[in-house]
Structure 1
């Protein structure tokens, strides 16, 4: 039996009522049961939509005009919101964003892990969901002989040249990008041209310590020897005393990867410092450090609550990074073992432990799924395991290693509800039970959601 063709054609105009949203924030409407995904549509709204792509089971559309609008719709405060794509949700109220992210977690757990009988708490949001990012990486280009900086337009490498600030980025970082661009332009430092692989300045990266206001500027250049670079550094030093570090990163490759392998200090320190919950962290140009420390504290507080540490526990942090969670846990636990595949991160974690006079945390380089069975063979028996994996989730070997170790509790910090749900399935089959999940909005105005799950060994 031949399946009927889709009820719409490309470039056709249709009337749609949005019934739902995708996890990326697009509205979902149906034409004779056929789903259309339409950016910026909100549930309950009716709109005239142009069909721009047709697939077998679903299509994509573009709003031409609204017939009615949701009470949750707001005017995006960013002038380039519809061009940029760095944020996806500024067109909806902040409460609607929080509700959408909660629903995303709930749906993933129900559909993928078949878990629908546990508390999934309301998303923890921010009092002020703007200007939270402590790190920005801005590409540099040229127009009419002048340097320009700005994010790329959606699905392109064209710089938005009328963008003079980013309202989810720390204001100090914003100002420093502008300052570096203006000084570099005056000194005749050229922008990198990725088409011809010529020119010099590729990106300006700025990191700011939220608690300390210490600022690091990283100049990403195509070559190491850059005329006038010393004068650029002098002007920054003279005008901006909060800048504690100016770094050059050399990236000579034809690549979309921002940072190259070689990094050197042009002036000041290799690190700036910041604090989360009284723990001080040294942050280098390449350190992984959460971009929203305000929400990071809320997330880690929940992770520590779920770890339920009384004081005599042994804890493993299986993706320890520079020790952000490990050191918080070490304030309460008897011993913390951190493992991380990136050697520089482990080196930073050890330095951060020294910086805070924490001597009950030990850090090791390696893949957790390989190190943990070795620890088991040495007789290490953790009471709690904490994992905070990348978006792809935990390697199945690691999940099996955790199951073999039989800790009383597992705390799973996730930045991807789908892979969290997949991994919870495996842990539940291995004798564990998911007790509750707490979503935390680490990235307001964007589609991303972080959450923390408490998992306990079945008795």
Structure 2
């Protein structure tokens, strides 16, 4: 019906996963990046198939009432966020539309079970972790996020979604790298050393970690670079390198080593302190994490004699949040460093009714069965890919009374909820929480009984 290069007048009537507007021409769906519901545009088709097309805005004829002026000068070229052109109130509404549509369409879930999305109290400067690729452009060194759909680095000196201290540290380190003329990795030629800069830390405690991802065994000018970082930033508690010599787009390498200081920082959530190692998973929005965890407690309705299994446990944040409300918590975590962190975090917070098993969820559930450990409540917080089929089967065999499912991806949430529902569980509620303002990412917590 359409070919790339065709121009067509469209009205955006809905919003789709990935943060793109949706228009229909005679029932044919056309997805338009950078649009908002209510926009009337002249669009240029950029990609077309038999059942859908993609387009870009060539002319904004009538702007949507939901539009606003983006705060960041790098928007929309920078891939760090994609919704700054939409007011925050409208973003929350759009995201609720997306999760409702995804769950009702894929898993036949009643939309009335999806509660209103909880917005962020502060939608700016919330990210506690940044991962920035380096790129050489002639004699200059660029550092920033990729332009959407490319590996073209947008040189960045300001960011309104990551904590300001992270940006300040990154800017200074870019200057240090320029000063020492460290070679930058070229992914086409597969030569060069420096691939990414990672900075993560805590706004609550002030502690920061700096990590260099390198295509070599050692970082050139290591001592000199560390000295300059230490002289400039007293809150940096550790500098690390992650050796990544494989030809993949995965950011972290298989081997991480400390070149100065500690391998972790300390964060605080609520009344708890947590040790977070460099490669460990940790929620990037600390303030909203507390909101999310409070709703886990609310939906779980724990009793003092309940046995809880915390699957995909990370560094133990959820376990710490629920431990005082139940008899025992058994955590499951596949990443060894995170499992060590979780055990230390329980000791640091004087929590003594939590134990950990290191391994895949389905493997540890088999071990629980052998040890005759029965669960009343299973809390799941899997990665974006969701639970494996084997993990779901192992949970179903354990027959918990309640399942709490924390998700960061509505499509895999819909897939997995359907499996639990088909096996006899009833979905009671889905509570979306906006953890990632100005991006299309959607977090939620669901209750199955």
The match for 1:271 is 264
After superposition, what is the alpha-carbon deviation per residue over 1:1-49, rounded to whole angstroms, capped at 9, x for unaligned? xxxxx2x333121111121111122222222222211112222221111
1:404 is matched with: 397
Which stretch shifts more, 36-45 or 223-232? 223-232
Output one character per residue of 1:46-81: Cα deviation in whole Å (capped at 9) or x when no partner: 111112222111111111112211111011112222
Residue of structure 1 in register with 2:431 after alignment = 438
Cα deviation per residue 1:378-423 (whole Å; 9 max; x = unaligned)?
Answer: 3222111111112222223332332332222111111111222222
Report matched runs for 1:117-136 at 5 Å. Answer: 118-136=112-130
Cα shift readout 1:423-444 (whole Å, capped 9, x = no counterpart): 2222222222111110011111
Residue 117 of structure 1 and its aligned partner are, at CA, apart by 5.9
- Give the match's secondary structure for 1:174: helix
- Checking the alignment, whether the CA contact within 8 Å between 1:118 and 1:435 is kept in structure 2 is no
Equivalent-residue separation in structure 2 for 1:425 and 1:222 (angstroms)? 43
Q: Please list, as runs of the form range in 1=range in 2, the aligned pairs for 1:212-361 lying within 5 A after superposition.
A: 212-361=205-354
Deviates more, 1:203-212 or 1:23-32: 23-32
Distance in structure 1 (CA, Å) of the matches to 2:221 and 2:313: 40
- The residue aligned with 1:3 is none
Q: 1:355 to 1:231 in 2, by over 3 A?
A: same
Cα contact 2:316–2:345 (8 A) shared by 1: yes
Deviations 1:251-296 (A, max 9, x none): 2333322222222222111211001112111111111111111111
User: Is 1:62 aligned with 2:56?
Assistant: yes
* Residues 1:30 and 2:32 are matched in the alignment: no
Q: Is the contact between residue 201 and residue 222 of structure 1 (CA under 8 Å) also seen in structure 2?
A: yes
| Bigger mean CA offset, 14-23 vs 193-202 | 193-202
2:362 pairs with 1:369: yes
CA 1:376/1:254 → structure 2, altered by over 3 Å: closer, same or farther?
A: closer
SS in 1 for 2:12: strand
| Offset, 1:131 | 0.9
- How far does the alpha carbon of each residue in 1:326-363 deviate from its partner, in whole angstroms, 9 at most, with x for none? 12111221100011222222122112112212111000
Q: Which runs of 5+ in 1 are unaligned?
A: 1-5
Distance 1:160 1:274 in 2: 30
Pairing partner for 1:88 from 72, 82, 106: 82
SS at structure 1 position matched to 2:397: helix
- Confirm whether residue 74 of structure 1 aligns to residue 100 of structure 2: no
Residues 189-204 of structure 1 mapped to structure 2, 5 A cutoff = 189-204=182-197
Instruction: Quote the residue 2:151 is aligned against.
Output: 157
More divergent stretch after superposition (99-108 vs 401-410): 401-410
Which TM-score applies when normalising by structure 2? 0.96
Distance 1:72 1:118 in 2: 25
Q: Distance in 2 between matches of 1:139 and 1:42?
A: 30
- 1:75 partner SS: coil
1:137 correspondence with 2:131: yes
CA distance in 2, matches of 1:226, 1:303: 43
Task: Say if 1:294 and 1:311 are closer, same or farther in 2 by CA, change over 3 A.
Answer: same
- Aligned CA distance change for structure 1 residues 67 and 400 (closer, same or farther; 3 Å): same
Identify if the C-alpha distance between structure 1 residues 109 and 146 changes in structure 2 by more than 3 Å, giving closer, same or farther: closer
The reply to whether residue 415 of structure 1 matches residue 408 of structure 2 is: yes
**TM-score, normalising length: structure 1:** 0.94
Q: Is the Cα–Cα contact under 8 Å of residues 205 and 218 in structure 1 kept in the other structure?
A: yes
Residues 141 and 191 of structure 1 are in contact (CA less than 8 Å); yes or no, is this contact kept in structure 2? yes
Local SS of the residue matching 2:76: helix
Question: Aligned in 2, Cα 1:66/1:210: closer, same or farther, shift over 3 Å?
Answer: same
| SS of the residue 1:204 aligns to | strand
Say if 1:58 and 1:227 are closer, same or farther in 2 by CA, change over 3 A: closer
1:92, distance to aligned residue in structure 2 (A): 0.7
Q: How many pairs does the alignment contain?
A: 449
- 1:41 aligned counterpart, secondary structure: coil
Q: Tell me, yes or no, if structure 1 residue 386 matches structure 2 residue 387.
A: no
Compute the RMSD of aligned alpha carbons. 1.7
Aligned residues of 1:19 and 1:43 also touching (Cα < 8 A) = yes
